[in-house]
């Protein structure tokens, strides 16, 4: 065992660890942790424990330390680890929402996730997550583009009038009704 770490097993701890090792329903990670502590308590050195348990030196030391500090319960739970990437703050989401509600850059007609990702300096998946969370769908914006044709208004009246007259005839029993 590493110098500076020493512990003795009480009879109740030994019974509890041995029960973990022989119970077929115990998760394997708990079994090998218990075996490391039992082998340590039996006086085996670090190298012998490494061979017997098929683990590295740092693993042996980690579980010896954990048992010395927290007992058997420390072996039965994993330490929580921080998230790999810290979550985006609310100010980033507010900036993405504000940019989305504004005009897109250049000649584009609407924001895409890739364009927003570049503008906000975050990942595309983060942009999509923020849009989904705020109910934004900038790629589905419906816009009506007015024609530059000088006779557009007259043509529009003719088309709308045609549909209006055809619809009246269908309702009144005229042409098209059977």
Tell whether the model's pLDDT for residue 141 goes beyond 60. Answer: yes
pLDDT for 152-162, tens place per residue? 888 878 887 76
Query: Other C-beta atoms within 10 Å of 71: how many?
Result: 15
Exposed/middle/buried for residue 103 (C-beta within 10 Å: 0-12, 13-18, 19+) = exposed
The pLDDT tens digits of the residues spanning 60-69 come to 999 998 998 8
- Structure confidence by residue, pLDDT tens digits, 14-65: 999 999 999 999 999 999 999 999 998 988 888 999 998 889 999 999 999 8
What is the per-residue pLDDT for 138? 85
pLDDT mean across residues, the chain: 83
Structure token pair of residue 120: 């906000």
Q: What does residue 65 show for φ and ψ, rounded to 5 degrees?
A: -60, -45
Residue 110 is predicted with a pLDDT of 85
Written as one string, the DSSP assignment of the chain is --TT------HHHHHHHHHHHH-TTS-HHHHHHHHHHHHHHTT--HHHHHHHHT--HHHHHHHHHHHHHH-HHHHTSPPP---SSPPPPHHHHHHHHHHHHSPPSTT-SS--HHHHHHHHTS-HHHHHHHHHHHT--GGG----PPP--TTHHHHHHHHHHHHHHHHHHHHHT-TT--
Which residues does 32 contact at the CB level (< 8 Å), separation at least 6? 53, 55
pLDDT above 50 (res 177)? no
- Spatial separation of the C-alpha atoms in residues 34 and 39, rounded to whole Å: 9
Predicted confidence at residue 102, as pLDDT, reads: 87
Q: Is the pTM of this model over 0.75?
A: no
Question: Which pair of structure tokens corresponds to residue 33?
Answer: 């942790």
């Amino acid at each position: 065992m590493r110098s500076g770490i020493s512990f003795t097993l009480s009879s109740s701890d030994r019974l509890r660890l041995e029960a973990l090792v022989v119970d077929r329903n115990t998760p394997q990670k708990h079994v090998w942790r218990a075996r490391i502590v039992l082998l340590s308590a039996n006086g085996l050195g670090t190298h012998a424990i490494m061979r017997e348990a098929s683990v590295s030196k740092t693993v042996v030391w980690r579980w010896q330390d954990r048992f010395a500090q927290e007992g058997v319960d420390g072996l039965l739970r994993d330490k929580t680890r921080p998230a790999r990437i810290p979550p985006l703050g609310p100010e980033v989401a507010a900036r993405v929402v504000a940019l989305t509600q504004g005009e897109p850059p250049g000649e584009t007609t609407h924001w895409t996730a890739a364009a927003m990702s570049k503008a906000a300096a975050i990942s595309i998946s983060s942009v999509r997550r923020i849009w989904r969370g705020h109910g934004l769908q900038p790629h589905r914006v419906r816009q009506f583009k007015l024609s530059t044709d000088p006779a557009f208004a007259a043509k529009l009246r003719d088309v709308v009038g045609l549909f209006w007259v055809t619809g009246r005839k269908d309702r009144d029993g005229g042409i098209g009704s059977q």
